[in-house]
Structure 1
């Protein structure tokens, strides 16, 4: 197996190439040394130019790392990703119309890698219908110069679907923990495994080159075959970065990699304030054994509340990157989880999500509107992208959106959202229960849009709730006050009143074990 430098790997790229990149968010299995080498080469030589960068998850530290290394005028022609939130330099290029920018559902992109690996025509799914990804709206475009249709609306067996077109890859950058002398890649110290195998297979299927960044080289045969995530038959070259950190903020967490179990109750308590109120009210929707996803932003506080209330072990929290159980991380570490029960590859996690495996999804909102639509992908002059939001919100049996009612004095409940990341109408058609939880009031998705069902104690309905909104919601005839315990200092006693619902398999199991 050939071992080369990161600079040598960067020189493999030619003008106009399509580059597949593995990794997630704030440095989770991101081949950062390889991306930095591309950026350095471009600054020194002006090459390569006009690349297409394709990565299912946003990559970066919120500053200049990750995809931010590529945020140089002329280096990129097109970027297709789940989100730009981790790489503001890429978002700026999109806003300035200097790149063709697309943000597509993270799960659909992850699954598309698998379709590309198999040489199938593309991905056929209902995920994204009636959102901005639907070609009847924007087709996932985030810049006017992005004119190619990457997503098509098709009819199959009398139903509407979206068809995500595949890409031909010239080169793929993946990352692992170790490689043996034959190029077999393990990921035992990574916080996530993602779709590294599918990316490597997709590049090989296209006749492309696969370069793997690893922290160390180990002797031939020393990696247990079940620990190999990318077999050496798919790897063309290795780049060794002995200074590779687990994430951008954490050098090596045994809790993230699953090598050590830590007390989940040690999750810090949320300080008083709107975030705590919203998270506590959202946590009231939990029930015994609920399988949940926590989205980024304010909704990650559900884990903190569940730990404080002593119910974290009585529910199952997951994240889209593939962690099941444990305590999902938040902030720049989002995507990892402390002491998960299982870590699976990202495409399979999204198979589970798309198939209705989630009982509850707790997701944040940037704004919601009179139709019940939610926007998290483009607002206030920012391009964020949906990440896994569209897969999660469309696939979950019930959704709880959380956020403050206003931001810097401006309403977040608006007449019409800037971009539709979640369709209220589509949710109503599917009879999907939806709540919108704020620190002042709670709404549910009704027949005609959000309906006000709870108001915080002591607030005036007209001046402090409706007056802070951009539309007048319907008012439930059974309008009630939010539980005063949500605003109290100590625990609210959720452990003593966590609802119990029978397992889905109870009806079949009961006669079998009688």
Structure 2
């Protein structure tokens, strides 16, 4: 039976969403986010009082500030409609200020599994399995011996999402379980005359297929509702272009143009949907995302980019790297400007390979990518250690090398893809400022000049929540380094080792006195190459051994 094609303005398709339904929603910020479906469902609730007490599961975050999920949460908070949602399984909330606020204020249950875990979980449920069994999360806040994976008290009490620990052949594993989705909201680009769905204009493939299959899986097949930007009428599309075949879809809903943005800052750019030459990506200007990046962040990104050359020289080109949100995402632009795109292939957790990764709320979209994977397939590259390097941000690092990227009391953004990427990669290059808070730091060919330092210490005795376990990394002999604007640390069985400092740094005043613990100081302490503080190209391609 073909899916029902819903005319604009007809909301009867929402009748299948009942009180207490488990609703799966696709979305990586605004990419693949079915904003029209989310908005329409909330409007039905505000006009009728139903459906309410929904449990939402998502692969990443179907929102950006003031858009989609964030917009309805703002209205729910301000108008006392908090019974619309009873709980959420959401990996990231950094670009949804209202979700962050309601999580902190314990408005409803919130569970913070990583992106790769949720994406895999949908695929496992689609296969009829009870949940996801993996080593990811051992020794972190996801490990029941350490914490619960919950992000607030209501989640701790309700336990609708659980993580259990098992031993198989004397090896520890975690089993992630959550309610099976009963309804799915997904977004694609076009529907042909049969109801086959394509993603021609989407910047990512996301997890739409796995979410669809998880919803349709037995023993209780659910309802799949797809938002498209256009119904093609009598046209059909080539089989290889079909992302979701029509037998898996119940309703196809054409939405107004304004609800189909590729990214937070732009509606459509052909380069974001793989319709340009990827090897010309270095010529592509970055549109949207973060601008006016502080010099200290650029310095850190340049130093990490320099470190990648040593990986190329030891392994041989090309190397495969993942770039996280924040400072690491700046490395993509450096790779392009240094003409290293053939030697260093960057992948983003949302699925793109190569190209120029955008930053800020547009993170997840790459201009000029040469390939795009689904999110579950991309995370196989991380969890399986297929990538060579991951560069990720940090908020806190402790004496054991444990890392907290995003959680302090009263403020949290969720794990994102961090735990899976950091734990799976053979080399993790964490990148962040040495202190937090307002600073006055400048750089020139003579090195660093610290006039005013940040007031918040980031290298602490114990992190607030463990998202990356230093102990597990050392156990498996992984290469772990921490890059800041003034120094570099490595991690071994002794803990953090100070291996490099910038010219102009006083070790006692600028480093040791700004840490809660004393690191090991390397006997062959090096000085950061001055080129990272200068403007223009570093000519890194000439450092590659032939």
Provide the TM-score with structure 1 as the length reference.
0.93
Match of 1:106 in 2: 115
Match of 2:104 in 1: 95
Q: 1:176 to 1:64 in 2, by over 3 A?
A: closer
1:392 and 1:9 mapped to 2: Cα distance? Answer: 38
Q: 1:366 to 1:6 in 2, by over 3 A?
A: farther
1:176 and 1:315 mapped to 2: Cα distance? Answer: 30
Match of 1:42 in 2: 45
User: Is residue 496 of structure 2 the alignment partner of residue 484 of structure 1?
Assistant: no
1:146 alignment partner, SS class: helix
The offset of 1:241, in angstroms, is: 1.1
2:178 and 2:129 mapped to 1: Cα distance? Answer: 8
Q: Verify the 8 A CA contact 1:20 1:169 in the aligned structure 2.
A: yes
Q: Matched residue pairs, number?
A: 499
User: Is residue 400 of structure 2 the alignment partner of residue 371 of structure 1?
Assistant: yes
Q: 1:69 to 1:271 in 2, by over 3 A?
A: closer
The offset of 1:125, in angstroms, is: 0.8
Deviates more, 1:52-61 or 1:376-385: 376-385
Please list the CA deviations of residues 322-344 of structure 1 after superposition, one character each: whole Å capped at 9, or x if unmatched: 11122222111111111111111
The offset of 1:347, in angstroms, is: 0.8
Q: 1:460 to 1:122 in 2, by over 3 A?
A: same
The offset of 1:139, in angstroms, is: 2.1
Q: 1:157 to 1:293 in 2, by over 3 A?
A: same
- 1:108-187 equivalence runs, <5 A: 108-147=117-156, 148=159, 150-187=162-199
Q: 1:156 to 1:220 in 2, by over 3 A?
A: farther
Please list the CA deviations of residues 335-388 of structure 1 after superposition, one character each: whole Å capped at 9, or x if unmatched: 111111111111111112211111000111111111111111312521211111
Deviates more, 1:163-172 or 1:37-46: 37-46
Match of 2:493 in 1: 447
User: Is residue 283 of structure 2 the alignment partner of residue 266 of structure 1?
Assistant: yes
Q: 1:377 to 1:470 in 2, by over 3 A?
A: same
Please list the CA deviations of residues 123-156 of structure 1 after superposition, one character each: whole Å capped at 9, or x if unmatched: 1111111111111122210011213151111111
Q: Verify the 8 A CA contact 1:105 1:389 in the aligned structure 2.
A: yes
Structure 2 residues without counterparts, runs of 5 or longer? 77-81, 287-291, 438-453
- RMSD (Å), alpha carbons: 1.8
1:64 and 1:228 mapped to 2: Cα distance? Answer: 28
1:471 alignment partner, SS class: coil
Match of 1:226 in 2: 240
2:359 and 2:294 mapped to 1: Cα distance? Answer: 18
1:473 and 1:481 mapped to 2: Cα distance? Answer: 17
Q: 1:233 to 1:360 in 2, by over 3 A?
A: same
Match of 2:27 in 1: 23
Q: 1:31 to 1:390 in 2, by over 3 A?
A: same
- 1:231-242 equivalence runs, <5 A: 231-242=245-256
Deviates more, 1:255-264 or 1:229-238: 255-264
- 1:181-330 equivalence runs, <5 A: 181-205=193-217, 206-220=220-234, 222-243=236-257, 244-261=260-277, 263-266=280-283, 273-286=295-308, 287=312, 288-330=317-359
2:536 alignment partner, SS class: coil
Q: Verify the 8 A CA contact 1:39 1:70 in the aligned structure 2.
A: no
Q: Verify the 8 A CA contact 1:35 1:70 in the aligned structure 2.
A: no
Q: Verify the 8 A CA contact 1:300 1:330 in the aligned structure 2.
A: yes
The offset of 1:188, in angstroms, is: 0.8
Match of 1:33 in 2: 36
Q: Verify the 8 A CA contact 2:64 2:70 in the aligned structure 1.
A: no
2:164 alignment partner, SS class: strand
Please list the CA deviations of residues 288-325 of structure 1 after superposition, one character each: whole Å capped at 9, or x if unmatched: 31100000011111112212222123211001111112
2:462 and 2:283 mapped to 1: Cα distance? Answer: 41
The offset of 1:435, in angstroms, is: 0.4
Please list the CA deviations of residues 233-274 of structure 1 after superposition, one character each: whole Å capped at 9, or x if unmatched: 011111101402222322111111111226322356986611
User: Which of 47, 63, 66 is residue 63 of structure 1 equivalent to?
Assistant: 66
2:362 and 2:527 mapped to 1: Cα distance? Answer: 36
Q: Verify the 8 A CA contact 1:28 1:190 in the aligned structure 2.
A: yes
2:462 alignment partner, SS class: coil
Segments of 4+ moved more than 4 angstroms = 267-272
Structure 1 residues without counterparts, runs of 5 or longer? 501-514
User: Which of 468, 473, 483 is residue 427 of structure 1 equivalent to?
Assistant: 473
1:220 and 1:113 mapped to 2: Cα distance? Answer: 33
Q: Verify the 8 A CA contact 1:68 1:90 in the aligned structure 2.
A: no
Q: 1:20 to 1:497 in 2, by over 3 A?
A: same
